[in-house]
Amino acid sequence: MYAVPILIGINLLTFVLFFVVNSPDEIARLHLGDKYVTEVQINAWKHDRGYDKPLLINTDESGMDVVTETIFFDKSVRLFVFDFGVSDSGRNIGYDIKQRMWPSLAIAIPSLIMGLLINISFALLIAFFRATYIDYWGVIFCVALMSISSLFYIIGGQFLVGKLLQIVPISGYDYGLSSIKFLVLPILISAIYGIGAGTRWYRTLFLEEISKDYVRTARAKGLSEKYILFHHVLRNALIPILTGVVAILPLLFLGSLITESFFSIPGLGSYTIDAIQRQDFAIVRSMVFLGAVLYIIGLILTDISYTFADPRLRLK
Amino acid sequence: MPVILVTDFLIFLLLILASSYVFYVCKRPLLRAPWADVLKNRVGAISFTVLMFYIFIAVLDSMHFHPRISSSQEKKVVYSNEITSVFDVIASHLRTSTEKTYSAPLSAYQYSKEAAEVSNENSHRDYPRLKYGGRHLTNPNKEIVSDVFSKILKGILIAAVFWIVLLMLITFFYAHKKSSSFYAQIQQIFFSKQNRSLPTILITILVLMIITCVAVQLSFSYHVFGTDKVGQDVFYQALKSIRTGIIIGTVTTLVMLPFAITLGIMAGYFGGRVDDIIQYIYTTLNSVPGVLLIAAAILMLHVYMGNNPEQFTNITERADLRLLFLCMILGITSWTGLCRLLRGESLKLRETEYIVAAKALGVRSFVIIFRHLLPNVMHIVLITIVLDFSGLVLAEAVLSYVNIGVDPTTHSWGNMINSARLEMAREPVVWWSLSASLFFMFVLVLFANLFSDVVRDVFDPRAKKHE
């Protein structure tokens, strides 16, 4: 139950970052643009968005209102019940998030599954041929794949598949079944992007497992190398792999920032990027909080899945 | 008149730290052994040399000064307000030779058609000649291929001459030191079984020299990587971006190291209440997605800068402060990993006999941490520094794309990619700006990754056990 103090900490952190470091006055001035903004305009802007209350303690009110009629209560405490309020441009953030969650998931889940399958099979292949030239060059190939910027995969993929070959549209999104042709390319690219790091990481897991005593016993029994790899090593190495996946599952909701904005998919990632570029602080604040909540859910899920996957841990 | 920007100061500080570390290590055979292993590895030696080459350019680019405006009449020396670097002076022909707009690599013609007045009545549209690229040619269509080839050959020749001189110097040095003959020494360097790092490094230097000399030879009369929309040389931009990349990769770790080391060791060594508080701090920071935290902090900086424009007068200084701020934010988001590792390691070391013995003898905690704990966790710190470097260079590109990276006026690969994004959709395609920045970034990150692999294998005691 370490989640609650951490969430409170994050809430305070965002509050300090967004309201104390820069006063709402300054944010308003930035939004209204030019230097010739009158005091009246600023006050009107602040009033529309509820930024005109005192920060922490409202001395004008009485009773409970002293605490509740403040920016801190209005904008920060309400996040705990997932009441995100209205964005600076006047839209309901909670509604937007619910709408945009699904396209994000439509990309994130297939690319996660595809990436997992590709990475595990490549890593198994490399582990099977360990300490040979295939292993050596395979690892160097993975490092080379890792060293290419993610932007290159996206731009190159868009250029090659979308523009030269014209198989799928370059960007855009549609709801329902027709969305598939928009989704194929981003999914493929995010899966390919993960190959380098993923394969290398899984290879070390496999190799660690292979060097354990039970594998030597299995070999001494006369089992074939292939049988050992698939029945013993793969099964045991899947424990850290799957618990690692569980940890990032909740974060899939947030989508991928870059992929979504490049392919103009209306998911949460492009939502965040748009908000950053429009300097919409209300949305960024909500996304920071949401991201933290999802991360903590991921932590809790990892703990739970460890006890399920590995009975030895339950004994302690 | 020299100027030291804040990031320059940090880079020089890093250089001093690094060289004193090298000096310290060289004196002690126990510490020297793992580094010798790194260089004995062929991949390690190659990547080390390439990284040194990048760092060399970055350091050249970090020596800033106000250029003197020459005035013959007055005795008073006037300095310009502009800030340039030593590298700018070396590459001044690249900086000043700006064309009108796009031009392809190694081309003598502009990339877009323009109306040219032939006579008074009829004007026709054609690709105009460039102002600088291939200006010495009379008939570029015929001569350009042979000219480029002769330039490449000339570059290779010059590089070979330089390299042989370097080889001679090194051999003479060794021959003098060991008082053996020159010929025997050459044989020793290239064919000895014991020391394989020197020939690898020398051959890498040869390859790098050839590339440099060819590029320099070509750049005097052509635009090696073409020009961008406003006619600036892309090669120059890509070279200038090296400094930004190196700074992001190194200064960030420098900024976060003190926090990570003190907090991590304190949490592990003292345990109890201190441990709880430190763990709470880093879990909280860790649970905010990195990009969002960076975005939030940079947005706040935007607001601050927008409202206080009077504090940032010089463009270069402002861009520099933004770069530093970005490094600090990246440092805040990335110190948690190292902190956790150090906590775990010092938890383990706390129970070891020598620490228990020190405690029993009544040594103060502060002294124990400095003399006994810190040297024994240094390998973790080192591995993390090298491992983080490449990730940070890549992160810069992504952040600049989202507009929360470095200042738009700073040369950086991220900014280059960002502005080149729309050029891919252009017809006909402008590909050189994008590929130049991606290539330079790829080389740096690739060799940093390879180097970090070697370093980790050598320094990590767990990795050795597996062999």
- Decide which of B143 and A239 is more confident: A239
Give the span between the Cα atoms of B347 and B266, in whole angstroms.
10
Give the span between the Cα atoms of A78 and B10, in whole angstroms.
42
- Selecting from A9, A149, A277 the residue whose C-beta is nearest the C-beta of B438 gives A149
Give the span between the Cα atoms of A308 and B11, in whole angstroms.
49
Is A102 buried (19+), middle (13-18) or exposed (0-12) by CB count in 10 A? middle
The one-letter amino acid code at A272 reads T
Q: Kindly state whether A276 is in contact with chain B, defined as any CB-CB distance less than 8 angstroms.
A: yes
- A23-70 pLDDT, tens digit per residue, is 666 666 666 665 566 667 666 666 666 666 666 566 665 655 555 566
Mean pLDDT per 10-residue interval, chain B, length 467 residues: 78 89 85 82 86 88 75 60 76 72 71 60 65 69 77 86 86 76 72 72 85 81 76 82 88 87 89 87 82 77 71 73 86 86 88 89 88 86 86 86 78 83 72 84 90 85 55
Contact B280 A258 (CB under 8 A): no
- Region A134-156 average pLDDT: 85
Could you tell me how far CA A213 lies from the centroid of its own chain? 37
Q: Kindly state whether B442 is in contact with chain A, defined as any CB-CB distance less than 8 angstroms.
A: yes
B64-65: strand order across its sheet: B2-3, B64-65, B84-85
- Which of A1, A143, A149, A256 to mutate to probe the B interface, most B CBs <10 Å? A149
Q: How far is A61 from chain B (nearest CA, A)?
A: 30
Q: Kindly state whether B421 is in contact with chain A, defined as any CB-CB distance less than 8 angstroms.
A: yes
Q: Which residues of B touch A213 (CB under 8 A)?
A: none
Is B293 buried (19+), middle (13-18) or exposed (0-12) by CB count in 10 A? buried
Is A62 buried (19+), middle (13-18) or exposed (0-12) by CB count in 10 A? exposed
Q: Kindly state whether B295 is in contact with chain A, defined as any CB-CB distance less than 8 angstroms.
A: yes
Please give the pLDDT value at position B466.
47
Q: Kindly state whether B301 is in contact with chain A, defined as any CB-CB distance less than 8 angstroms.
A: no
The residue of chain A nearest to residue B391, with distances taken between CA atoms, is: A147
The residue of chain B nearest to residue A141, with distances taken between CA atoms, is: B446
Q: What is the CATH number of domain B2-65+229-466?
A: 1.10.3720.10
Q: Kindly state whether B438 is in contact with chain A, defined as any CB-CB distance less than 8 angstroms.
A: yes
- Which of B292, B305, B325 to mutate to probe the A interface, most A CBs <10 Å? B292
Long-range contacts of A127-135 (CB under 8 A, 24+ apart): A127/A203, A127/A206, A127/A207, A127/A210, A127/A229, A127/A233, A128/A225, A128/A226, A128/A229, A130/A207, A130/A210
Give me the residues of A, 67-126, that contact B with CB < 8 A.
none
Check if the beta carbon of residue A151 is closer than 8 Å to that of residue B441: no
Q: Kindly state whether A279 is in contact with chain B, defined as any CB-CB distance less than 8 angstroms.
A: yes
Please give the pLDDT value at position A276.
78
What residues have CB less than 8 Å from B67, skipping those under 6 apart? Answer: B79, B80, B82, B84
Q: Kindly state whether A288 is in contact with chain B, defined as any CB-CB distance less than 8 angstroms.
A: yes
Q: Kindly state whether B446 is in contact with chain A, defined as any CB-CB distance less than 8 angstroms.
A: yes
The residue of chain B nearest to residue A18, with distances taken between CA atoms, is: B300
Work out whether the CA dihedral B366, B368, B371, B377 comes out positive or negative.
Answer: negative
Q: Kindly state whether A28 is in contact with chain B, defined as any CB-CB distance less than 8 angstroms.
A: no
- What pTM did the predictor assign? 0.84
Give the span between the Cα atoms of A264 and A269, in whole angstroms.
10
- Selecting from A150, A155, A279 the residue whose C-beta is nearest the C-beta of B424 gives A155
Could you tell me how far CA B328 lies from the centroid of its own chain? 17
Contact B287 A155 (CB under 8 A): no
Provide the Cα torsion A209, A211, A215, A216; round to 10°.
Answer: -170
- Decide which of A162 and A1 is more confident: A162
Largest CA distance in chain B: 101
Q: How far is A190 from chain B (nearest CA, A)?
A: 15
Q: Which residues of A touch B417 (CB under 8 A)?
A: 149, 151, 155
Give the span between the Cα atoms of B215 and B65, in whole angstroms.
26
Contact A284 B466 (CB under 8 A): no
Q: How far is A62 from chain B (nearest CA, A)?
A: 33
Q: What percent of chain A has pLDDT over 90?
A: 1
- Selecting from A29, A258, A295 the residue whose C-beta is nearest the C-beta of B307 gives A29
Q: How far is B291 from chain A (nearest CA, A)?
A: 9
Give which of A179, A177, A176 is closest to A168, Cα–Cα: A179
Q: How many residues does chain B have?
A: 467
Q: Which residues of A touch B325 (CB under 8 A)?
A: none
Least confident of A112-116, A153-157, B449-453: A153-157
Please name every residue paired with B2 in a beta bridge, in sequence order, or none if there are none: B65
Give the β-pairing of B78-79 and B84-85.
Answer: unpaired
Q: What stretch(es) of chain B map to CATH 1.10.3720.10?
A: 2-65+229-466
What residues have CB less than 8 Å from A61, skipping those under 6 apart? Answer: A69
Q: How far is A74 from chain B (nearest CA, A)?
A: 19
R_g (Cα) of chain A, nearest Å? 25
Token pair of B229 as six digits: 């929309």
Work out whether the CA dihedral B217, B57, B40, B188 comes out positive or negative.
Answer: positive
Q: Which residues of A touch B296 (CB under 8 A)?
A: 14, 17-18, 284-285, 288
Contact B292 A149 (CB under 8 A): no
The ipTM value here is: 0.79
Cα B173 to Cα A124, A214, B167, B183, distances in angstroms: 50, 55, 10, 13
Please give the pLDDT value at position B467.
43
Q: Kindly state whether B286 is in contact with chain A, defined as any CB-CB distance less than 8 angstroms.
A: yes
Q: Which residues of A touch B421 (CB under 8 A)?
A: 155
